[in-house]
Amino acid sequence: MEKLNDVIISDSIDGIGKDRYKDYLSHALCTGGKSTFSFNGQTFEFNEGDLMIVRKGKLLDDVKMSDDFSVKNLYVTAPFIELCTPQSNYGMKGQLALFLNPVMHLTDEQRFVCERDFRWIDYRLNQTSHNFYRELLINAVQSAILDFFDFHSTLSGEDSISTQNASIMSRFLNMLENGDYRHNREVTYYADALCVTPKYLSEVSKKVSGYPANYWINRYTSLEIARLLRDKSLTFVQISDMFRFSSPAYFSRYVQRTLGLNPTQYRE
Cβ(55)–Cβ(17) below 8 Å? no
For residue range 200-256, what is the model confidence (pLDDT) as tens digits? Answer: 999 999 888 888 999 999 989 998 998 899 889 999 999 999 999 999 999 999 999
For residue range 54-73, what is the model confidence (pLDDT) as tens digits? Answer: 988 878 888 999 999 999 99
- Residue with the bigger pLDDT between 140 and 163: it is 140
- Spacing of C-alpha 69 from chain mean position: 23
Which fold is adopted by the domain 7-152?
Jelly Rolls (2.60.120)
Task: Decide if pLDDT at 86 tops 90.
Answer: no
pTM, entire model: 0.74
Q: Which pLDDT value is given to residue 164?
A: 83
User: Which one is the CATH code of 163-267: 3.30.428.10, 3.40.1000.10, 1.10.10.60, 3.40.190.80?
Assistant: 1.10.10.60
Q: Any idea where the domains of the chain sit in the sequence? A: 7-152, 163-267
SS3 letters across 116-179: HHHHHHHHHHCCCCCCCHHHHHHHHHHHHHHHHHHHHHHHHCCCCCCHHHHHHHHHHHHHHHCC
For residue range 172-202, what is the model confidence (pLDDT) as tens digits? Answer: 988 998 899 999 999 999 999 999 999 999 9
Task: Decide if pLDDT at 91 tops 60.
Answer: yes
Query: b vs e for 2-27, b when ≥16 Cβ sit within 10 Å of the residue's Cβ?
Result: eebebbbebeebebbbeeebeebbbb
Mean pLDDT of the chain: 89
Q: Which pLDDT value is given to residue 140?
A: 96
For residue range 9-42, what is the model confidence (pLDDT) as tens digits? Answer: 999 999 998 888 888 999 999 999 999 998 877 8
One fold for 7-152 and 163-267: no
Interatomic CA distance for residues 135 and 138, integer angstroms: 5
Interatomic CA distance for residues 14 and 103, integer angstroms: 17
Task: Decide if pLDDT at 162 tops 80.
Answer: no
Task: Decide if pLDDT at 148 tops 80.
Answer: yes
The winner for highest mean pLDDT among 147-156, 159-168, 176-185 is 176-185
Q: Which pLDDT value is given to residue 170?
A: 83
